Amino acid sequence: MQIKLTSPPISKERNILGISREELLSFMQEFENQPKRASMRVSQLWSWIYCHGITSFEKMTNIDKDLRSKLTKAFVVSRPNIEKKERSNDGTIKYLFCLDDNSKIETVFIPEETRSTLCISSQVGCTLNCSFCHTGTQKLVRNLSSQEIIGQVIAVYDDLDLWKKMKKDRGISSYFEVITNIVFMGMGEPLLNYEEVKKACNILMDNKGLDFSRRRITLSTAGIVPKIKMAHEEIGCMIAVSLHATENKTRDILVPVNKKWNIEKLLGSLRDDVELRNSERITFEYVMLDGVNDTEEDARRLVKLLQGLPSKINLIPFNSWTGSNYKRSSSDRIKAFRDIIIKSRIPSPIRTPRGEDIMAACGQLKSNSTKEKAGI
């Protein structure tokens, strides 16, 4: 199976959003002769951008006017445009973002009682063609840049007016007021856009800015085996694996990348290459498809496959979309499947579908971007 990677387009204007601290310091050294002053300017810019959400250099009042003028000529501070915003009956919000080249991506904000999660995209479209996933019906247009990945988070902060609330992590009255978790479970396979995703994660985790704990960021992968160890060691955030089947014959259909890295190679890599810390577990995502992967035999095989590997299994009732031939397993079948797993002492929550009425649930995201429409 050949996997084609497509790079983000080169922007005419350099967006300072999504630039690493190291890159920013290099730019500041061109403006400031003294290393200490250049470092100070980076800290000031970082605070304005990632703690206050400022979009204009002119509003960065602790930076002298001459430097602000130079920065204005060299950079922009921009976010992707919100083309459409839909709110579900359950409070979930789906954003359709329009990028500079007119490509479209979707991002989902999911508030819950004890946390709020932002589900972000890493690519326009996807190249993996998972048969149960709506995004899989959209051909890969291109990878997202770190600016476009971070831009999704920043744009939602803007829209929900979270800048004033982000540091009020005590006495939060509602989890509509803060984003506690970031999951790369939107459009695309994050490990096939590794360098840009890595850069974005480092910015998200910077403790002088957005300050997300590594345990609050999850990369979801269909099983890009060579990148899993790298992501765990170099990024350090949590890993979720889209398993979805217990036999290669079935997984070849559901997750075609299995033909390159099958279940044995995938689980072997997780056992040998991923060194878990303390109480960490690897999360496995398992979509429940009626008559496909939901038998009690499947559940017992799943337990056997994961034996000795600290795991958590998220059971995901299939979320339908127009054109799909799959159906959701019955509630009784899902519960019976879960009970077998729980008896083996593996945590196995059943995920409550969120945002189904606006096509924002797991596996339902898709934009209408194509290579032609995006001008690529």
Catalytic residue IDs: 106, 362
Residue 326 CA to chain centroid, in angstroms?
A: 25
DSSP string covering 248-302, please? HHHHHHHSGGGGTS-HHHHHHHHHHH----TT--EEEEEEEBTTTS-SHHHHHHH
From the CB of residue 294, how many other CB atoms can be counted at a distance below 10 Å?
22
Q: Using alpha carbons only, what angle is made at residue 218 by residues 217 and 222, rounded to the nearest 5 degrees?
A: 160
Cβ atoms of residues 25 and 39 within 8 Å = yes
End-to-end alpha carbon distance in the chain: 23
Helices (H) and strands (E) in the chain, counts: 10, 13
The rounded distance, in Å, linking the Cα atoms of 222 and 216 is 20
Longest dimension (CA), the chain: 70
Three-state secondary-structure class, residue 48? helix
Of 354, 372, 374, nearest to 364 (Cα)?
Answer: 354
b (16+ CB within 10 A) / e for 39-56: eebbebbbebbbeebbbe
CA distances 48 to 23, 44, 210, Å, are 17, 6, 11
Q: Which residues pair with 28 in a beta bridge?
A: none
Of 152, 82, 128, 344, nearest to 220 (Cα)?
Answer: 128
Dihedral of alpha carbons 185, 186, 187, 192, sign: negative
* Helix %, strand %, coil % of the chain (to 5): 35, 15, 45
